[in-house]
Amino acid sequence: MIPKVFREVIDLGDGREISIETGKLAKQAHGSVVVQSGKCMLLCTVVSNYKQSDVDFLPLTVDYREKFAASGRYPGGFFKREARPSDGEVLTMRLVDRVLRPLFPKDYHAETQVMIQLMSHDDDVMPDAMAGLAASAAIQLSDFPFECAISEVRVGRIDGEFIINPTRAQLLVSDIDMVIGASADSVMMVEGEMKEISEEEMVEAIKFAHDAIKIQCAAQLRLAEAFGRKEVREYEPEREDEDLAKKIHDMAYDKVYAIAKAGSAKHERSAAFDAIKEEIKATFSEEELADFGDLVSRYYYKAEKAAVRDLTLNDGLRLDGRKTDEIRPIWCEVDYLPSTHGSAIFTRGETQALATVTLGTSREANQIDMPSFEGEETFYLHYNFPPFSTGEARPIRGTSRREVGHGNLAQRALKGMVPEDCPYTVRVVSEVLESNGSSSMATVCAGTMALMDAGVQLKKPVSGIAMGLISDSDSGKYAVLSDILGDEDHLGDMDFKVTGTADGITACQMDIKVKGLSYEILVNALKQAGAGRLHILSKLVDTIAAPNDDVKPHAPKMVTRVIPGEFIGALIGPGGKVIQELQKASKTTIVINEDPVTEEGIVEILGTSQEGIDMVLAKIDSLLFKPEVGSAYEVKVIKMLDFGAVVEYTDAPGNEVLLHVSELAWERTENVSDVVNMGDVFDVKYFGVDPRTRKEKVSRKALLPKPEGFKERPPREDRGRNDRGNDRNRDRDRKPRRD
């Protein structure tokens, strides 16, 4: 018997619906829901252990996976099973994690897993936009200590009209692609890309998304009420000691304030703060530290955070001595690496990124093979964050989720400025060499300069800046911080990264930690970010004002030719023989793609030598050569046969035709060599395709004067004989055969 199912429906306002259902699947999980829109179905389950883990943080795992069976496909490769998550899946995990994590109590340390699976795919529904809704709805059905319902939506804008959860096709014509995460009261996360929009337009999009999220949060609460709300579980909270907290605050606050106000470098400042902490710990006995040493450390960091925040709010100063809107010193350099196709260094304070650019053919495009999307990227960016960049030694375990997320942000910031007719596949790699505040924005700046150094004709240069916010709800004071440090990232109420050109925003990423942030403060923060972004942009332009006119001498040049589809096979040759020999002789890379609409061949020629590229173009011209009937052409003898000579058009090398012995001269020719020899060059007349032989016919004698008294032999059909020399009427006279 099918169990009772509880269901809520959310109306998106344009004929589309999202349903949330529970009671049928995965009932041993602490909470489970199926979220559906169209034919797209997500299953989300949540489980949290009842025993606290022996750690001082929340061990939360958000896992999002797309099953290939959901779209009726097999996983690619030899191993026919879903393996490690794709970059697209990792990015969805990060979107959900960033909204959920702050809503668990700070002292809740139980192992918690949120697992979201795409079970059925719909081409018109992008599943990542519903992952946050699914996660929150499942948690609402559990007994987890969780602050409030949240949801996430994607917002686009087409012809000036905002739309919630647009289709992938709609996104192609949208000038905004943003995912917003929020509760009914507060916006908590924003991430996306835009086509040079203003700060006011960005805030309008956030407001529109928030209105839709409020409806989705209400639907979750109705579902939980109908299903039967569970009592929030009890768990062992962290130990607290108010007297100890006050004691440590009094011991640390003034000293931390003084060091913070002095304005020092990262390592010097860290060492001074550590010295204060050790000085405080020295006032306690070994027995006391064994008993409540963890509290001493926690209360010290709390006092340190309070002192640094108060310094900024009261004095307008920051840890390194800057004012709130001041940008750290910047220096840049391009063409640093001699062998790359493009390179640049961007250094801002204690953050440094080295970016490289590599140019290639469509064969080097990044292939995306997900159940929800198949395609390729001809522009992509990879971001590497090694441990030495922060002066640490830690295990290296492959590409982290953070590296995937930061690289994706920088890629989205730059890709809109790469021209649509760029013939290359472009790969940018950012190596973070130093980090103390927003290496992703340093990647954007270094990437911009490296692309221009490589000769990629960017529409406009792009810069990026990381911003912070410190606010006090009691006093109403707040301070927006431009170009934040790593420490300011942790102690602030909001950190956001904004990239753009001189004309507007191209990408953003926000994490808002304070409840009820007003849109007025958000607009002011974005305006201050715009001023800082333009300052940084001026430094980039001072270093390299415009893209180089051409690629570097050692970088490959790209030429693209379009050929009729019927010539593709001739250019490739049997078993690829022609194209392979041509690549070897010309020292180029040749890629041929067939246009799915026109069925034409798109030939990409990549090489460092113009001579080699010209050789390939000459071969293509030769293949495409079509002589006109009645015209004369110069040919060269390349092969001698008993019944004629094979000649090659000198204007189209490789384009051959048979010159029959009967067309060599007006006189009867017994031996071909009596008239022409190997290597001879002369003119012939083109007659088109001979209807009798169905082969192209050329003639040398047609361009020669007839000898005096020359008499042509009558045409073959007038001589009363067929091709075998027999009487053509013989078959008519033959008597019937006797049995």
Look up tokens 């994607």; give the residue.
Answer: 154
Quote the CA–CA distance of 700 and 690 in Å, as a whole number.
Answer: 16
Quote the CA–CA distance of 138 and 18 in Å, as a whole number.
Answer: 15
| One-letter identity of residue 5 | V
Residues 6+ apart with CB under 8 A from 658: 641, 644, 645, 646, 647, 695, 696, 698
Angle at 514 between CA 217 and CA 223, to 5 degrees: 15
The string of DSSP codes covering 131-178 is HHHHHHHHHHTS-------EEEEEEEEETTEEEES--HHHHTT-SEEE
Q: Are 681 and 649 in contact (CB under 8 A)?
A: no
Quote the CA–CA distance of 581 and 583 in Å, as a whole number.
Answer: 5
DSSP three-state, residue 711: coil
Angle at 466 between CA 464 and CA 467, to 5 degrees: 130
Quote the CA–CA distance of 356 and 428 in Å, as a whole number.
Answer: 6
Burial class (CB in 10 A: 0-12, 13-18, 19+), 488: buried
What are the C-alpha distances in Å from 60 to residues 29, 46, 89, 109, 220? Answer: 16, 11, 17, 9, 21
Quote the CA–CA distance of 509 and 519 in Å, as a whole number.
Answer: 16
Q: Are 178 and 171 in contact (CB under 8 A)?
A: no
CA atoms within 13 A on the CB side of 251: 22
Quote the CA–CA distance of 224 and 26 in Å, as a whole number.
Answer: 16
Quote the CA–CA distance of 219 and 140 in Å, as a whole number.
Answer: 11
Quote the CA–CA distance of 502 and 458 in Å, as a whole number.
Answer: 13
Residue 495 is assigned to a ligand binding site: yes
Q: Are 317 and 261 in contact (CB under 8 A)?
A: yes
Residue 731 is assigned to a ligand binding site: no
Q: Which residues are annotated as a binding site for Mg(2+)?
A: 489, 495
Q: Binding site: which residues?
A: 489, 495
